[in-house]
Amino acid sequence: MSPEGALNFSNIALPIGISFYTFQTMSYTIDVYRGQVKACKNFIDFATYVTLFPQLIAGPIVRYAVIEKELKSRTVTTSLFYEGVERFIIGLSKKMIIANNCAVLADAIFNLPPSESSMLIAWLGTIVYSFQIYFDFSGYSDMAIGLGKMFGFNFPENFNYPYISKSIREFWRRWHITLSNWFKDYLYISLGGSREGKWRTYTNLIIVFFVTGLWHGANWTFIFWGLFHGLFIIIEWNFKDTDSKRPAFLSHLYFLFVLNISWVFFRNDTMTDAFHYLMTMFNFSLETNTAFLNFYLTKEMLIVLFAALLLSTPIYKKIVSGVFNSNLTSGTKNIFFPLKLIGLFILLFICFTYIATDSYNPFIYFRF
């Protein structure tokens, strides 16, 4: 066959989110084979599980056992529907207000020629991109969980403040939790886990993180990103006895440093681009493109970055929880509910404004 007639696999169109529902059906098949769940004999129930639209194209990855009972019988209450609407608005706000604004700055920095960039700008780019991908993906998960609640389904949580981690191991217990658990239960443990000696454990970890990188895309940058995380998990495995002796803030700084390095490979299209970007990050020149920073670091962007920093930690959640668990009178506490509703309506209005004025900007994980 001539080169012109050869099949170009890179141009094959695949359904969006194919990796998510593929993993769901695989988990169902494996669980049935293992005897952990009974085979579903109702085709409508099984088809509903596979094609459940809220989390169909970007997760969280829901196992059949989690919603088996709800597929057959579920109760939709007013309080559950309200929780769903609230969660949906929060997720939409994460995407439209924070992730999309961070994307503008991150894209501008990563597309900047190395001659016009600097160490400060390059590090700012990775930090902003880390906010973009977190609020983009966790925003979709929140929307999916919220929609699920509206219909009486309780989907598993997918994120637990991953950026407060103190190690890459902890990060993967907090980031894309349903995917991490899937690989642990169906690949890592099936390979032997940590039961067959140190070197076999290391081999299993490398295999798991190689597949994790490949799951995100058939590109060397994703594969390197996965192996990079696997390597540091092996390193941390060897030094886990010293973790408690290290000051917490140093562990956190170490984690953020390694994570931001890894995002460089995840964000760039080629290994060459990634290494060029890394060279800029470690070019210890004090010169910087102030005109670029002045143009992009507007008041709106600074407010968004501050909100991203605050909401990537449990500080806000603790403040709200502290207010409702305090010794305030019931009348005083009741004031917060209408204020909360007003806040949600304001967020929804802002989101509609962004939707009306911005061009189409899909979720990052739609392509995986």
Query: How far from 266 is each of 61, 143, 220, 360, CA to CA, in Å?
Result: 21, 24, 10, 22
Q: Residue 250 and residue 211: Cα distance in Å, rounded?
A: 30
**Which residues are within 8 A (CB) of 124 and not within 5 positions of it... i.e. 6 or more apart?**
105, 109, 293
Q: Tell me, yes or no, if 229 is annotated catalytic.
A: no
Q: Residue 41 and residue 18: Cα distance in Å, rounded?
A: 24
Instruction: Provide the residue type at 208 as one letter.
Output: V
Q: Residue 244 and residue 233: Cα distance in Å, rounded?
A: 16
Q: Residue 173 and residue 125: Cα distance in Å, rounded?
A: 25
Of 52, 133, 179, the closest CA to residue 312 belongs to 133
- Active-site residue, selected from the candidate residues 176, 216, 229, 252: 216
CB count within 10 Å of CB 104 equals: 16
Q: Residue 253 and residue 260: Cα distance in Å, rounded?
A: 11
- The residues that are catalytic are 216
